[in-house]
Structure 1
Amino acid sequence: MQKEGKVVPLAAAIDRGGRTPLPCLPVLLLQVRDKAALQLRQGLQDLFDNADDTLFEMADKAFDRGDQNLYFEAMRDLRLKRKSIERGFLDTFYDAYARMGQVDPLARLAEPGDLRSKAQAERTAAIEGMVARVLSRDGIALQQLGLRLQALLDRPLYEQHNPLGPAALCGYFLEAGRNLGVGLRVKLVLLKLFERYVLRDADIIYGEANQLLAAAGVLPELPPAPRRRAEDRRMRARRGVAKLGQAVGPDAAGQALFASLQTLLAPLRGQFAPRLQAVATAQPISTADLLRLLSHLQHYVPATHEDEDFELGQQLEQLLLRVSVRSGTRRRIEVADEDMINLVGRLFAFIRNDDNLPASLRALIARLHIPLLKVALLDKGLFSRASHPARRLLNEIAGAAIGWECPGTSLRDSLHLRVERTIQRLLNDFAEDTSLFAELLEDFLAFNQDERRRNELLEQRTRDAEEGRVRARQARHQVQQALNQRLRGQVWPQVVVQMLVQSWSQVLLLAWLKQGAASQAWRDALQTMDTLLASITPPQAPQALLQKVPGLLKALRDGLASVALDSAATREFFLQLEQLHLRACAGTEGQPGSEGQRLSEVLVAEDIVLAIAEEPACAPLHVAHAQAAALRQVQRLRIGTWVEVLDEDEPLRCKLVARVDSSDRLVFSNRTGMKVREWNAASLAQALHRGEVRVLDDGLLFERALEAVLDELRQPRGV
Structure 2
Amino acid sequence: MHNDGNVVPLHKAATDQANHSPLARLPVILLQVRDKAAQRLRHGLQELFDNADDTLFEMADRARNDIEQNIFFEAMRDLRLKRKNIERGFLEQFFEAFVALIQYDAVQHTLPDSLMFEESATRTDDMERNVAVETMVGRVLKRDGFALDQLTERLNALLGKNIDDQYNPLGPAMLCEYFLQAARNLGVEIKVKLILLKLFERYVLADTEPLYAEANQLLIATGVLPELKPAPARRAIERAAASISSEESDEPAHTDEGVQEVFATLQELLLHVRGSVAPTLEPSVATQPISTRDLLRLLSHLQQYVPVLAAQDDFDLRNQLEQLLTRVSVRSGKSRIVDGADEDVINLIAMVFDCILEDRNLPDSLKALIARLQIPMLKVAVLDKSFFSRSSHPARRLLNEIADAAMGWGDCNSEARDSLYLRIEQVVQRLLSDFVDDPAIFCELLADFLAFTSDERRRSELLEQRLRDAEEGRARTELARQRVEQALNQALLGKALPPSVVTFVHDAWSKVLLLTCLKHGEQSAQWQADVQTMEQLIWSVQRHDEADAGLRLLALVPGLLKSLRDGLSSAAFDPFATSEFFSELEALHVRMLEPSAEQDTADTAALVEVSQHITLRTADEGSGSLNPTGLAHDDAGLRQVDQLRLGSWVAFEEDDEHTLRCKLAAIIETTGKYVFVDRTGMKVRERSRIGLALEFRRGAVRALDDTLLFDRALESVLGNLRRLNRGK
Report the TM range for the smaller structure's normalisation: 0.5 to 0.7
Q: Is the counterpart of residue 376 in structure 1 residue 384 in structure 2?
A: no
RMSD: 3.7
3-state SS in 2 of match to 1:653: strand
Unaligned runs of 5+ in 2: 1-31, 36-220, 222-231
> 1:634 matched to which residue of 2?
641
Once residues 624 and 518 of structure 1 are traced to their aligned partners in structure 2, the CA distance between those partners, rounded to angstroms, is 33
Shift of 1:698: 0.9
CA deviations over 1:637-664 (Å, ceiling 9, x no partner): 2222211112445212222222333333
- 1:507 CA drift (Å): 0.7
Cα separation, 1, equivalents of 2:480 and 2:433 = 61
CA shift for structure 1 position 523: 2.8
Report SS of the residue matched to 2:679. coil
Cα–Cα, structure 1 residues 630 and 303, in superposed 2: closer, same or farther, change >3 Å?
farther
Map 1:334-413 to 2 at 5 A.
334-413=339-418
Q: Residues of 2 paired with 1:605 and 1:386: CA distance?
A: 69
Mapped to 2, the partners of 1:614 and 1:357 lie a distance apart of 34
Seen in structure 2, the aligned counterparts of structure 1 residues 592 and 671 have a Cα distance that, compared at 3 Å, is farther
Tell me if the contact between 1:284 and 1:332 (Cα under 8 Å) persists in the aligned partners.
Answer: yes
Superposed displacement of residue 564, structure 1? 4.8
CA contact (8 A) 2:464 2:682 kept: yes
Mapped contact 1:302–1:308 kept (Cα < 8 A): no
Which whole-Å deviations, capped at 9, do the CAs of 1:147-168 have from their partners, x for residues lacking one?
A: xxxxxxxxxxxxxxxxxxxxxx
Indicate if the aligned counterparts of 1:623 and 1:682 stay in contact, CA closer than 8 A.
no
Q: Secondary structure at the match of 2:542?
A: coil
Please give the alpha-carbon distance, in whole angstroms, between the structure 1 residues aligned to 2:459 and 2:437.
36
Alignment of 1:613-692 (within 5 A): 615-616=621-622, 620-625=627-632, 628-648=635-655, 650-692=658-700
Question: Could you report, residue by residue, the CA deviation over 1:204-240 in whole angstroms, capped at 9, with x for unpaired residues?
Answer: xxxxxxxxxxxxxxxxxxxxxxxxxxxxx99x99999
The structure-2 alpha-carbon separation of the partners of 1:621 and 1:614, relative to structure 1 and needing over 3 Å to count, comes to closer
Q: Is the 8 A contact 1:458 1:673 kept in 2?
A: yes
- The answer to whether the Cα contact below 8 Å between 2:240 and 2:450 also exists between their aligned partners in 1 is no
Structure 2 CA distance for partners of 1:416 and 1:650, relative to 1, 3 Å? same
Aligned to 1:553: 561
Distance, in Å, in 1 between the alignment partners of 2:692 and 2:514 is 31
| Cα distance between partner residues in 2 of 1:626 and 1:559 | 44
Confirm or deny that 1:459 pairs with 2:464: yes
CA–CA separation in structure 1 for the residues paired with 2:607 and 2:485: 20
Overall identity of the aligned pairs, in % = 51
Secondary structure at 1:715 match in 2: helix
1:562, distance to aligned residue in structure 2 (A): 4.2
- State the TM-score, normalized to the length of structure 2: 0.60
**Are residues 1:534 and 2:565 paired?**
no
Alpha-carbon deviation of 1:710?
Answer: 0.6
Distance 1:670 1:607, change over 3 A: same
1:331 is aligned to 336
Q: CA deviation at 1:572?
A: 3.6
Tell me if the contact between 1:627 and 1:689 (Cα under 8 Å) persists in the aligned partners.
Answer: no
Q: 1:715: how far off?
A: 1.6
Which residue identity lines up with residue 655 of structure 1 in the other structure? K
Moved more, 367-376 or 633-642: 633-642
Q: Deviations over 1:522-548 (max 9, x none)?
A: 233223212211221235977765554
Which whole-Å deviations, capped at 9, do the CAs of 1:598-628 have from their partners, x for residues lacking one? xx32222233221248554866334445962
Structure 2 residue aligned with 1:495? 500
Equivalent in the alignment of 2:124: none
Deviations 1:111-170 (A, max 9, x none): xxxxxxxxxxxxxxxxxxxxxxxxxxxxxxxxxxxxxxxxxxxxxxxxxxxxxxxxxxxx
- The Cα shift of 1:709 comes to 0.2
What is the deviation of 1:506? 1.0
Once residues 332 and 652 of structure 2 are traced to their aligned partners in structure 1, the CA distance between those partners, rounded to angstroms, is 57
| Alignment-mate amino acid for residue 535 of structure 1 | S
The residue aligned with 2:524 is 519
Q: Partner amino acid for 2:298? A: L
User: Matches of 2:431 and 2:586 in 1, distance apart?
Assistant: 83
Within 5 A, what are the aligned runs for 1:239-638? 251-273=256-278, 275-276=280-281, 280-302=285-307, 309-538=314-543, 545=553, 548-565=556-573, 569-586=577-594, 587=596, 600-612=606-618, 615-616=621-622, 620-625=627-632, 628-638=635-645
Distance 2:281 2:394 in 1: 34
Instruction: Work out whether 1:694 is the aligned partner of 2:699.
Output: no
Cα distance, 1:567 vs structure 2? 6.3
Q: Is the 8 A contact 2:279 2:326 kept in 1?
A: no
3-state SS, counterpart of residue 365 of structure 1: helix
In structure 2, C-alpha distance between the alignment counterparts of 1:245 and 1:479, rounded to whole Å: 59
Distance 1:429 1:240 in 2: 24
d(CA) in 2 for partners of 1:375 and 1:650?
A: 36
Aligned 8 A contact 1:644 1:695 in 2 = yes
> Equivalents in 1 of 2:622, 2:242: separation in Å?
55
Compute the displacement of 1:276 (Å).
5.0
User: CA, structure 1 residues 295+400, in 2 after alignment: closer, same or farther (shift >3 Å)?
Assistant: same
The structural deviation recorded for 1:366 is 1.1
Note if contact 1:590-1:601 (Cα within 8 Å) is conserved in structure 2. Answer: no
Deviates more, 1:434-443 or 1:584-593: 584-593
| Contact map agreement 1:277 1:332 (CA 8 A) in 2 | no
Matched residue SS, 1:275 = coil
Task: Give the Cα separation in 2 of the matches to 1:277 and 1:645.
Answer: 54
Name the CA distance, whole Å, in 1 between partners of 2:463 and 2:283. Answer: 59
Cα drift, residue 375 of structure 1: 0.7
* Contact 2:325–2:337 (8 Å) recurs in 1: yes
Distance 1:344 1:327, change over 3 A: same
Deviation for aligned residue 1:381: 0.3
Q: How many angstroms does 1:288 deviate by?
A: 0.6
Does the Cα contact within 8 Å between 2:299 and 2:375 map onto a contact in 1?
yes
Distance of aligned partners of 1:545 and 1:621 in 2 relative to their CA distance in 1, 3 Å threshold: closer
Distance 1:590 1:496, change over 3 A: farther
Deviations 1:326-346 (A, max 9, x none): 444432222221221111000
Counterparts of 1:590 and 1:279 in 2: how far apart (Å)? 123
Matches of 1:614 and 1:510, distance apart in 2: 21
Partner of 2:103: none
Match of 1:392, SS state, is helix
- On the 8 A contact 1:395/1:702 being kept in 2, the answer is yes
